[in-house]
Structure 1
């Protein structure tokens, strides 16, 4: 019963992933609508700089949103930070759908990015903190599933919008970002606070009630008390060893003790951009044009492309989550993406310029873009969020993930600005960048990524040499409700 409760809570929080998937994916199909290009860019229906600005302002907002998320999640809770992000996401969608000029569109996309920056920083942290260690890969992976479903929905929404007339093509499409945001804003009110956040705030009775429900341990308070003691003592130990102020915590992320974790998390999320996945998603219609497909036909291909991510995510949940070691999943996936992009690049080089006649080679290039999408979902779409949330100790977790999301957004800003220009200048040769970055990532993951599978969040910190508090019940007096009255017996250990 507890497993279903945890999954239910995670599915509600994972609506944040659905919002991100739709908000990120919808702009790719919107930029493919002729009515949108005519309204925003004028009779030429093309402006590479403005196209890049619409995409990059979203990423700039994401950077700012992630920067605020660490403080808000610790100060006001993970739950309320997610609520605020959902409200902002709904408002930004309304601004985009009602945009009357390019400035209003840019503002709407920037606010949407701000909301998604908060969502990406806080949702995986929240889900990881309610998940049992042995199931964390699956439960946090539900966010990846939601992201994949969001991308798929965005592509089909864009294709459906192409059958509308006039500006309704893109206004209706952009307004479809609102439902998921409203559902999250309502649903998040009914999920519990993170038990670790409650313990940090000395709200032990609330934390106990949450953990009793999550563990389905109403008749065994000792299990929950043991976990509360270990979490509390770990948090207290971290407080004793570190200044608890927010700015000091940010500085700690780049200290000698924690910089490896900060760099690792930032590298993992930066590679979600440098792998080529987001570029292909946002500018896929341009890539399809290099293979000879344009207009409504390209939008239909986008819809099918989105479904490949969903299929890949299902394969991850069934065959990979909590079954494959995290590090092996990452380096294997990077090598697979190298091969996929190399084949796609070769096919685009030979057949991309053809129009009419035999388009089998161009269709082959599209097929490998599809396989690329599925492979990315299998190996990365969920695992990157599982790993990023696992790497940090509690007092740095929300801030560390926020910094990693910030770096991801900065990389996305740069790529979104240069991609339209690079594709126009070098066409299929642009794929070579992502071949190189994926190969480099495989090397990094193979040699430097620690294995975190099956460990508690507190035990993972020990992998990096942190002292681990190992409080146990011992001779604690316990009242009728199971709240300890005495002091726990606490030990510490550190990994040398």
Structure 2
């Protein structure tokens, strides 16, 4: 059995690029509303919304993302990583379509809520999926794809806003919000053609399917023994909790920012120094208190944090390699 191509053309990395569309969607959806709110046609069409209403238009996206990330830890563990992502993409397509065809502000808010739900769902499981299919030496590269694509999403959204400003039409604002349905459609369709996470399949006791998926990701598809394809039940749920905290804070900031800018103007930016100090503090905490995980498998990382997984390879049939997994929780 020959390993699949490693590096930039490995199947796990190419799958991570597909999953990175979810990061792109997050960046684009977060960024496109800013230039839209600045368009005169947008303000006129929706009756020049007040600062609190503009804050609601922006922050309802974070509220939807909060709901999506709060639920995906359960849904992705029950139905699988692929189905959870596809489910989120459905709402992304619907939400983008509602926003593009919005006849009044209530439709705009509802569409943005659904798009937020989609993004919260996708970002809550896509990084987990990528990490679970990655080899140890390429996990950093694979998990970084999502963040890189998010940055590209912001970039494209802001330049789309520039293009909208050059297009003098009463419906110019609809173009940018309509585009956001395309990444959701592409990701939702594409993810159905990739293999499920072998670790999730092992978690469900579907070892034959897990073996096949593992071989497809890392080898040429033939049989052989295979190591380390077991995940703890907490991985998806923990990532979901992180996303919930993220979107909770974002919800507060995006709701209050338009009001604060109207009331205190440029002085509102002075407290932003706290964000810089928070990053510095986090860097110090990580450097001092957190163990290094580079070069370690997910199972080895589990063991560092007190979850012991013992994996044994054993042949059960001629020419068929399977894995016997024994796992113990350290009490």
Residue 173 of structure 1, aligned match among 164, 173, 176: 176
Q: Given that residues 161 and 168 in structure 1 are in contact (C-alpha distance below 8 angstroms), is that contact kept between their aligned partners in structure 2?
A: no
- Over 3 Å counting, the alpha-carbon distance change for 1:60 and 1:129 in structure 2 is same
* Displacement after TM superposition at 1:493 (Å): 9.7
State yes or no: 1:456 paired with 2:319. Answer: no
The 5 A counterparts of 1:239-278 are: none
Residue 117 of structure 1, aligned match among 120, 131, 144: 120
Separation in structure 2 between the aligned mates of residue 477 and residue 183 of structure 1, nearest angstrom? 40
Residue 187 of structure 1, aligned match among 190, 196, 202: 190
Match of 2:320 in 1: 481
1:468 partner SS: strand
* Displacement after TM superposition at 1:492 (Å): 6.5
1:165 partner SS: coil
Separation in structure 2 between the aligned mates of residue 20 and residue 457 of structure 1, nearest angstrom? 26
2:308 partner SS: strand
* Displacement after TM superposition at 1:57 (Å): 0.8
Cα offsets for 1:442-488 (capped at 9, x unmatched)? 22331344432222112212232x14222233x6544322236xx66
Separation in structure 2 between the aligned mates of residue 145 and residue 181 of structure 1, nearest angstrom? 17
Residue 8 of structure 1, aligned match among 10, 14, 27: 14
Match of 1:64 in 2: 67
Match of 1:152 in 2: 155
Please give the root-mean-square deviation of Cα atoms over the aligned residues, in Å: 2.2
Unaligned 5+ segments in structure 1 are 236-393
Match of 1:132 in 2: 135
1:472 partner SS: strand
* Displacement after TM superposition at 1:135 (Å): 1.3
* Displacement after TM superposition at 1:219 (Å): 6.5
2:12 partner SS: helix
Separation in structure 1 between the aligned mates of residue 149 and residue 278 of structure 2, nearest angstrom? 28
- Over 3 Å counting, the alpha-carbon distance change for 1:209 and 1:219 in structure 2 is closer
TM-score (norm 1): 0.61
Residue 278 of structure 2, aligned match among 425, 437, 440: 440
Unaligned 5+ segments in structure 2 are none
Separation in structure 2 between the aligned mates of residue 113 and residue 102 of structure 1, nearest angstrom? 16
Q: Given that residues 20 and 150 in structure 1 are in contact (C-alpha distance below 8 angstroms), is that contact kept between their aligned partners in structure 2?
A: yes
The 5 A counterparts of 1:35-434 are: 35-40=41-46, 42=47, 45=48, 47-216=50-219, 221-222=224-225, 224=226, 226-228=227-229, 231=230, 394-434=232-272
Separation in structure 1 between the aligned mates of residue 181 and residue 307 of structure 2, nearest angstrom? 45
- Over 3 Å counting, the alpha-carbon distance change for 1:425 and 1:491 in structure 2 is closer
2:278 partner SS: helix
Separation in structure 2 between the aligned mates of residue 455 and residue 483 of structure 1, nearest angstrom? 22
Separation in structure 2 between the aligned mates of residue 108 and residue 491 of structure 1, nearest angstrom? 44
Q: Given that residues 10 and 142 in structure 1 are in contact (C-alpha distance below 8 angstroms), is that contact kept between their aligned partners in structure 2?
A: yes
TM-score (norm 2): 0.90
Match of 1:327 in 2: none
User: By percentage of residues, which structure has more strand?
Assistant: 2
Separation in structure 1 between the aligned mates of residue 221 and residue 73 of structure 2, nearest angstrom? 33
- Over 3 Å counting, the alpha-carbon distance change for 1:207 and 1:449 in structure 2 is same
Separation in structure 2 between the aligned mates of residue 121 and residue 493 of structure 1, nearest angstrom? 25
Q: Given that residues 303 and 309 in structure 2 are in contact (C-alpha distance below 8 angstroms), is that contact kept between their aligned partners in structure 1?
A: no
Q: Given that residues 223 and 319 in structure 2 are in contact (C-alpha distance below 8 angstroms), is that contact kept between their aligned partners in structure 1?
A: no
State yes or no: 1:30 paired with 2:36. Answer: yes
- Over 3 Å counting, the alpha-carbon distance change for 1:491 and 1:181 in structure 2 is closer
Cα offsets for 1:327-360 (capped at 9, x unmatched)? xxxxxxxxxxxxxxxxxxxxxxxxxxxxxxxxxx
Cα offsets for 1:54-95 (capped at 9, x unmatched)? 011111111111111111101110101101111110110110
Q: Which has the larger radius of gyration?
A: 1
- Over 3 Å counting, the alpha-carbon distance change for 1:187 and 1:100 in structure 2 is same
- Over 3 Å counting, the alpha-carbon distance change for 1:492 and 1:50 in structure 2 is closer
Separation in structure 1 between the aligned mates of residue 198 and residue 266 of structure 2, nearest angstrom? 50
2:255 partner SS: helix
